[in-house]
Amino acid sequence: MTFALVLFIALVVTGAIILFDRFRKRSNSTNSKDKKDSKGLSIIVEYARAFFPVVLLVFVLRSFVVEPFRIPSGSMLPTLFIGDFILVDKFRYGIRLPIINVTIFRTGSPKRGDVMVFRYPQDTSINFIKRVIGLPGDEIIYDKKQLFINGELLKREESDSYKLDTGNQNSLIVEYRESIGATEHRIINDLGRGSRSMKISVPKGSYFVMGDNRDHSNDSRFWGFVPEKNIVGRAFWVWLSWNPKEGGVNWSRIGHVIL
């Protein structure tokens, strides 16, 4: 059961209790048994009245405006760290009915370079976050760790390199600044790992996504495309970063704008 469904159920239950109480008060019954029952229900009704506006506000904000998520893995390094708490713009790509996620009003479409949250196509109960690389109709080529979109090699410039202890060996990590559309972002390649070469066309109504940690990301190269109906929203801000293994709060990450 998803958190959105839990909120919806709480909203329906508290709202139903409030409506029932109003209907009961309109009743003309005045016998003692009814009065005893009304006293027994008073605490439940008061709790419903207190919680209903709070649940309604959270439900509306979370469904149509912004939704918080936590980054559980390093697939988007160096853009997003493990333990980053982010906000996702739910309005950017359209207004969707909660729970069933049906678009009722479109406000925009994902663009190349957007960091997008979506429901994993192979298990829609799981949310993934990746960068949009290919739009509907695009031809994507990934070969020898080089990315081509519609035959054009994406520009990138090496910005850093360092060794990373992976347990069995020290891998050489190379960081690049990559440009896609009007967006410049950072990616990393692990020179100690091979890359999967592929050439593929993005079908209508779908998107091709990749992690910025190119050699350690479970993305469209392995499981295919993201259908438009699976889109949740665009990640735009880090409001907290917490990693106990690194000493707790990472203060430098707070307020970080996601590009």
Handedness of CA 243, 194, 179, 230 (dihedral sign): negative
Catalytic residue among 90, 130, 145, 217: 130
Q: What is d(CA 81, CA 96) in angstroms, rounded to the nearest whole number?
A: 29
Question: 22: which 2 tokens?
Answer: 């109003």
Q: Is 248 left (phi over 0), alpha (psi -120 to 50) or beta?
A: left
75 is catalytic: yes
Handedness of CA 130, 133, 135, 139 (dihedral sign): negative
109 is catalytic: no
Handedness of CA 225, 228, 231, 237 (dihedral sign): positive
Q: Considering only CA atoms, which of 217, 216, 245, 233 is closest in space to residue 89?
A: 233
Question: 5: which 2 tokens?
Answer: 């469904």
Q: What is d(CA 166, CA 63) in angstroms, rounded to the nearest whole number?
A: 39
Q: Where are the alpha helices (DSSP H) in the chain?
A: 3-25, 32-64, 220-223
Catalytic residue among 63, 75, 217, 241: 75
Q: What is d(CA 234, CA 151) in angstroms, rounded to the nearest whole number?
A: 27
Q: Are 196 and 202 in contact (CB under 8 A)?
A: no
**Stated length of the chain:** 259
Residues classed as catalytic:
75, 130
